[in-house]
Amino acid sequence: MDFPTGAAAFRSPLARQLFRIEGVQSIFFGPDFITVTKENEELDWNLLKPVIYATIMDFFASGLPLYTEETPSGEAGSEEDDEVVAMIKELLGTRIRPTVQEDGGDIIYKGFEDGIVQLKLQGSCTSCPSSSVTLKNGIQNKL
């Protein structure tokens, strides 16, 4: 789940708590990781990291739910999965998404129309200077 701003964090008590930390720009919850992006390069991770870590640990010790209401899956569900779409999703899920998740991000399938695959980069991928290279050389070539 991607929280690019504090306003987007209304469904997650943990995300709201993390946005209270000065210097936090965005938050992304992956399947087994949390990516926190800082506002600028001048902020020192050595100062931010202990506060972020303590907030996460205290939250999980509290037993509160990660989300306060049902969350969308992020996948476009209205179109029928024809053979091409099924192959695209399979490739994304097995070869592309795990690689992107290793770097603290995620890639979400949004749709396929007129030969164009629509994807959304989340987490650390949204602010990464290499994201366009990842899209062009990594993902586009595989698709």
Quickly count: other Cβ atoms within 10 Å of residue 37's Cβ: 17
Of the CA atoms within 13 Å of residue 96, those in its CB half-sphere come to 25
What is the per-residue pLDDT across 37-79, written as a single tens digit (0 to 9) for each? 999 889 999 999 999 999 999 999 999 899 886 544 444 444 4
Q: Are 106 and 30 in contact (CB under 8 A)?
A: yes
Task: Give dist(CA 50, CA 32) in Å, integer.
Answer: 19
Q: What length is written for the chain?
A: 143
Q: Where in the chain is the domain with CATH 3.30.300.130?
A: 81-141
What's the CATH superfamily of 81-141?
Answer: Fe-S cluster assembly (FSCA) (3.30.300.130)
CATH architecture of 2-62: 2-Layer Sandwich (3.30)
> What pLDDT is recorded for position 7?
84
Sheet architecture: strand order including 24-29 = 2-3, 24-29, 34-38
pLDDT at 103 over 60: yes
